[in-house]
Chain A
């Protein structure tokens, strides 16, 4: 089974979000980058599936050269090779088209992604790639097991979950508890250095939406503290001030 895992290169979950250049650029000062946490789940499951069924894992990122340490980390976790499409990932449609092009060229049986990217939280790229390739997409996927060419999955819904059966090929957007995040070991880190990381140039420049400006939410007012001995005061505040009860 040839598995493709699409990974994002995103600010660490503890990053302080700030903007520069008249609120048109993300402020990268002091920001650490990681593999998107949902992509990390997808990668972890891919490594487990590879152990069970044999096959290969390719990771793909649409990004500039700065993302290479993140791609190397994915190689250290267990991917066999990597593709970087050399472009700024400014738009989901553009990114989806680059991923779909790579899949058409290389041919993959299973395309795993995260349920959403941590920066834009679009939750769109998997569905777009599925449609561009004319194959189904499923997201958010909580479990995925292979039985020959058929995958058995559970998908989370607002009301609970669904059990799904679907034959390869398809695209899945993953979330926990599909697998546990894997930490690269020393051998993985050493071997990652020599694994192939192929850089390809993007095709086309179709953009669905263009950023105009960023904005931070309004600062929260000060917290009102209520004594633990007087919970009635909290009930009164919720009733009269917040008008909730």
Chain B
């Protein structure tokens, strides 16, 4: 089996979710070729060998520095055809989702997104995916010879193999049609740690009473190297930016640790955090439904508990 993995680049580095995709493909077994697009250091690409890729093909056309969906889909399709791969693995990201959908039509492939485990391939090719925003799972059979798996964050453990990959450049025929979508500007989110990919998230809810009180959330996040999030009403009231809104209708996170402060734990909020490994809830109401979904809980006033917790964590870090 020959597997192509599409890897995404951010700030000159391969994204962690893409490294997970390489690790996933390696764990599936077979020949793993990675495909990267746009400007990036060759050494970064060769390092993908450490996660199991034997070869990296690099479409270095600078028009591919921006994530233009049609162009990406065309390059991936060409790379699948050239490398003879019948399986494409990629991260289920904001870009990867749309790109894989376009490729699935071009390649007449079965596409499954939000994949959470390695496939079973003894009989039919089956894979488990998350559905109902993490409230359930479905095992599905892929019907077509060509297959695309978009992997949810944290579905596999990254293992280092110590290998290096050969890097080849790759050129695909691209036309003006592929660049109809013009990306006229890129605005970076505020904060050092990006919410969708964060290992630790500290979120605040309406219990914080107002945007002026977010300092205690930011201090704790800073002490932990965490991203900040919030509940929907908080972003609806513009206390926090929209991209911080976590939940069923917002960002879905799957960090190792999610700390919820002054959030009641409505089912729509829980849906966005239920694939976190550990959940800590701090709420002054012991009846808050969030405690039922938590691993650790503190009943108390956020304004008193948070500064103490931040200090204790700073001390522990020293």
- CB-CB under 8 A for A238 and B278, given A161-B243, A212-B140: yes
A216, closest chain B residue (CB): B136
Is there an interface contact between B94 and A158, defined as CB atoms closer than 8 Å?
A: yes
List A154-209 residues whose CB lies under 8 Å from chain B: 154-167, 170, 173, 175-177, 207-209
Is there an interface contact between B101 and A137, defined as CB atoms closer than 8 Å?
A: yes
Chain B residues with Cβ below 8 Å from A160 are 186-189, 243
Give the A interface residue count (CB, 8 A): 78
Contact of B95 among A157, A166, A235 (CB under 8 A): A157
- CB-CB under 8 A for A124 and B113, given A136-B70, A163-B183, A245-B317: yes
Confirm or deny: B174 has a beta carbon within 8 angstroms of a beta carbon on chain A: no
Is there an interface contact between B135 and A159, defined as CB atoms closer than 8 Å?
A: no
Is there an interface contact between B308 and A231, defined as CB atoms closer than 8 Å?
A: yes
Confirm or deny: A105 has a beta carbon within 8 angstroms of a beta carbon on chain B: no
Complex Cα–Cα for A193 and B300 (A): 52
Confirm or deny: A98 has a beta carbon within 8 angstroms of a beta carbon on chain B: no
Residue among B11, B67, B126, B187 having the largest count of chain A Cβ atoms under 10 Å: B187
| Shortest beta-carbon distance from A42 to chain B in Å | 13
Confirm or deny: B64 has a beta carbon within 8 angstroms of a beta carbon on chain A: no
Is there an interface contact between B184 and A208, defined as CB atoms closer than 8 Å?
A: no
Is there an interface contact between B69 and A121, defined as CB atoms closer than 8 Å?
A: no
Give the B interface residue count (CB, 8 A): 94
Is there an interface contact between B126 and A223, defined as CB atoms closer than 8 Å?
A: no
Chain B residues with Cβ below 8 Å from A156 are 94, 243
Is there an interface contact between B97 and A209, defined as CB atoms closer than 8 Å?
A: no
Contact of A137 among B69, B130, B256 (CB under 8 A): B69
Question: A199-237 toward B: CB 8 Å interface, digit per residue (1/0)?
Answer: 000000001111111111100110111111001101101
Confirm or deny: A108 has a beta carbon within 8 angstroms of a beta carbon on chain B: no
Complex Cα–Cα for A139 and B100 (A): 12
- CB-CB under 8 A for A128 and B137, given A160-B188, A167-B180, A221-B295: no
Chain B residues with Cβ below 8 Å from A140 are 94
Contact of A220 among B112, B185, B293 (CB under 8 A): B293
Is there an interface contact between A175 and B304, defined as CB atoms closer than 8 Å?
A: no
- CB-CB under 8 A for A228 and B312, given A131-B102, A209-B112, A212-B126: no
Complex Cα–Cα for A123 and B180 (A): 21
Confirm or deny: A127 has a beta carbon within 8 angstroms of a beta carbon on chain B: yes
Contact of A123 among B97, B187, B267 (CB under 8 A): B97
Confirm or deny: B75 has a beta carbon within 8 angstroms of a beta carbon on chain A: no
| Shortest beta-carbon distance from B282 to chain A in Å | 8
| Shortest beta-carbon distance from B275 to chain A in Å | 9
Chain A residues with Cβ below 8 Å from B109 are 208
Confirm or deny: A77 has a beta carbon within 8 angstroms of a beta carbon on chain B: no
Confirm or deny: A119 has a beta carbon within 8 angstroms of a beta carbon on chain B: yes
Is there an interface contact between B106 and A131, defined as CB atoms closer than 8 Å?
A: yes
Complex Cα–Cα for A237 and B277 (A): 14
- CB-CB under 8 A for A232 and B143, given A13-B271, A223-B291, A224-B297: no
Chain A residues with Cβ below 8 Å from B277 are 242
Chain A residues with Cβ below 8 Å from B185 are 162-163
Confirm or deny: B86 has a beta carbon within 8 angstroms of a beta carbon on chain A: no
| Shortest beta-carbon distance from A34 to chain B in Å | 12
Contact of A166 among B11, B180, B256, B317 (CB under 8 A): B180
Complex Cα–Cα for A120 and B113 (A): 9
Is there an interface contact between A228 and B299, defined as CB atoms closer than 8 Å?
A: yes
Is there an interface contact between B186 and A235, defined as CB atoms closer than 8 Å?
A: no
Complex Cα–Cα for A13 and B16 (A): 31
Is there an interface contact between B94 and A166, defined as CB atoms closer than 8 Å?
A: no
Chain A residues with Cβ below 8 Å from B128 are 215
Is there an interface contact between A207 and B305, defined as CB atoms closer than 8 Å?
A: no
Confirm or deny: B200 has a beta carbon within 8 angstroms of a beta carbon on chain A: yes
Contact of B278 among A138, A207, A226, A244 (CB under 8 A): A244
Is there an interface contact between B249 and A38, defined as CB atoms closer than 8 Å?
A: yes
Chain A residues with Cβ below 8 Å from B95 are 157
Complex Cα–Cα for A195 and B105 (A): 34
- CB-CB under 8 A for A210 and B143, given A14-B268, A93-B111, A127-B101: yes
Closest 9 A/B residue pairs (Cβ): A127-B101, A228-B300, A131-B105, A163-B185, A160-B189, A208-B110, A123-B97, A160-B188, A209-B140
Known contacts A96-B105, A127-B102, A159-B188, then 13 further A-B pairs from the complex at CB < 8 Å, ordered by chain A residue? A17-B135, A121-B113, A137-B69, A158-B94, A163-B185, A208-B144, A209-B111, A211-B139, A211-B140, A215-B137, A217-B137, A217-B274, A245-B224
Chain A contacts to B: CB under 8 angstroms: 11, 13-14, 17, 19, 37-38, 92-93, 96, 118-128, 130-132, 136-140, 142, 154-167, 170, 173, 175-177, 207-217, 220-221, 223-228, 231-232, 234-235, 237-239, 242, 244-245
Task: Report 17 cross-chain contacts, Cβ distance below 8 Å, ordered by A residue.
Answer: A17-B136, A124-B113, A126-B98, A127-B98, A128-B105, A130-B102, A163-B183, A164-B182, A170-B180, A208-B104, A208-B142, A209-B110, A226-B296, A228-B301, A235-B313, A238-B296, A245-B224
